[in-house]
Amino acid sequence: MQPITNIAIRAARRGGEVILRQVDRVEHLRVQEKARHDFVSEVDRGAEQAILEVIRSVYPDHAILAEESGRGGATETDLRWIIDPLDGTTNFLHGLPIFAVSVAFEARGVLEAGVVLDPLRGELFVASRGEGALLNDRRIRVAKRTNLDEALLGTGFPFRDFGNLDAYLDMFRTLLPRVSGIRRGGSAALDLAYVAAGRLDGFFELGLNPWDTAAGLLLIQEAGGLTESLREGVSPLLSGDLVSGNPKLLSELRDLLAPWCRALSGPPVD
């Protein structure tokens, strides 16, 4: 495994330790609302610090894009870490056990390593570019199911910006009667890891941030799946509006969603 992937794993595990230490005392945590419906707690910040400490101790010259501290580190490099210390904060704060740590590394705009850790279940999803994807050291692949009728999809509902709510509901209405089921877990990083592991056949969501998706995108790619942006000419990482699945299912999903993509408004998330 690449040294960079090992550092990503070590960093994610340190973040997971911080989260687990606080999981039984969520009612005592200091919580702020960054924007309406968008929360941050001292656990998000503590986990992010722990992750950054690991990365900076080894790679002090790399750039950082992290959910809570934003852009940091060196600016004159195209080696960048993309970090969500706690994906699924709302779940975490309610004691709902669906959340994850997401750590990715990108070189010259190409994702090289991606790690999603579910600290409660002890599930570690790891991808290195060109080397495949693993769940706790076992190789994972996207599901082979190509019949939409049998497919179980993941999604996320809009929660902060409702500018594209109508487009989202049109997509939902189009897919719901055609698939076996749609699940909404509340952690996009875990949803994407589950697509990589074949637990979900596909995924779609609007308005995601790069830290929610970077590690998951590489996991899906290395597990034999694909992700496409729902915005023409913008990558899935940058657009934040995306659809994933195995290649056959993805093309069907994309065709079904296409009529509603034209209506997507607002800037893609940065």
Cβ contacts of residue 101 below 8 Å, gap of 6+?
Answer: 12, 15, 16, 19, 47, 51, 84, 85, 86, 87, 115, 116, 117, 119, 189
Q: What is the spatial distance between Cα 113 and Cα 103, in angstroms, rounded to a whole number?
A: 8
Q: Which amino acid is it at 129?
A: R
Q: What is the spatial distance between Cα 148 and Cα 251, in angstroms, rounded to a whole number?
A: 11
**From 21, 37, 71, 183, residue interacting with ligand 2AM (rule: CB under 6 A):** 37
- Residue in 218, 238, 241 with CA at minimum distance from that of residue 230: 241
Give least dist CB 41 to ligand 2AM, A.
10
34: how many CB neighbours lie within 10 A of its CB?
13
Partner that binds at residue 73, options Ca ion, ligand 2AM, none, CB closer than 5 to 8 Å by kind: none
Nearer to ligand 2AM, 145 or 191 (CB): 191
Choose one: 14-22, 83-91, 162-170, 175-183; the region binding Ca ion (CB under 5 A). Answer: 83-91
Q: What is the spatial distance between Cα 197 and Cα 169, in angstroms, rounded to a whole number?
A: 27
By CB under 5 A, tell whether 48 contacts Ca ion.
no
Residue 268 gets which letter from DSSP? P
Nearer to ligand 2AM, 82 or 145 (CB): 82
Q: How many residues bind ligand 2AM (CB under 6 A)?
A: 15
Site string for ligand 2AM, 149-188 (x = CB under 6 A): -------x--x--------------------------xxx
DSSP 171-204: HHHHHGGGSSEEE--S-HHHHHHHHHTTSSSEEE
| 235: exposed, middle or buried (Cβ count in 10 Å: 0-12, 13-18, 19+) | middle
Partner that binds at residue 102, options Ca ion, ligand 2AM, none, CB closer than 5 to 8 Å by kind: none
Core vs surface per residue 39-52: b (16+ CB within 10 A) or e: ebbebbbbbbbbbb
By CB under 5 A, tell whether 84 contacts Ca ion.
yes
121: how many CB neighbours lie within 10 A of its CB?
12
The SS3 assignment for 228 reads strand
**From 38, 131, 150, 166, residue interacting with ligand 2AM (rule: CB under 6 A):** 38
Q: How many residues bind Ca ion (CB under 5 A)?
A: 4
Nearer to Ca ion, 84 or 228 (CB): 84
By CB under 6 A, tell whether 210 contacts ligand 2AM.
no
Which residues in 57-116 contact ligand 2AM (CB under 6 A)?
67, 84, 87-90
**From 4, 45, 67, 249, residue interacting with Ca ion (rule: CB under 5 A):** 67
**From 106, 112, 201, 212, residue interacting with ligand 2AM (rule: CB under 6 A):** 212
Q: State the residues that interact with Ca ion by CB under 5 A.
A: 67, 84, 86-87
In the complex, the residues that contact ligand 2AM under the rule CB under 6 A are 37-38, 67, 84, 87-90, 156, 159, 186-188, 208, 212
